[in-house]
Amino acid sequence: MEESSVIDCLSALAHAVRLQVFRALVVAGPAGLTPGVMQEGLGIAAATLSFHLKELSRSGLVSVERSSRHLIYRAEIARINDMVGYLTENCCAGIACVPQPAAACGC
């Protein structure tokens, strides 16, 4: 992952609502969530949620798929793992010291 991509990801997550939305999508896993479910569960207004989902999508942290009349949003776990890998690339003098998050959760 390039530095500019890492900065985009960190910038996207550097807002309380976007972090809350992203974490909800991580919990939802591969099934993802519709905007309606996120609005209801997180108490975020539709326009506000739409704006923040667009920012998360732009950074590549969230993908969207149309299913019938609904949009399904999913966290891009591989993208966040790439970012964490970039941030910890030289950790512990290059010796693996922390298990990869995806391996730990079975994602």
Extents of the domains making up the chain? 3-105
Q: Does 17 or 94 have the greater pLDDT score?
A: 17
pLDDT score, position 89:
83
Closest Cα to residue 87, out of 3, 22, 18? 3
CATH number for 3-105: choose from 1.10.10.10, 3.40.1190.10, 1.25.40.10, 3.40.109.10. 1.10.10.10
pLDDT score, position 3:
92
Tens of pLDDT, residue by residue over 49-69, are 999 999 999 999 999 999 899
Tens of pLDDT, residue by residue over 73-97, are 999 999 999 999 898 887 777 666 6
What the block records as the tokens of 32 is 């993802």
Inform me whether the pLDDT recorded for 27 exceeds 70.
Answer: yes
pLDDT score, position 102:
57
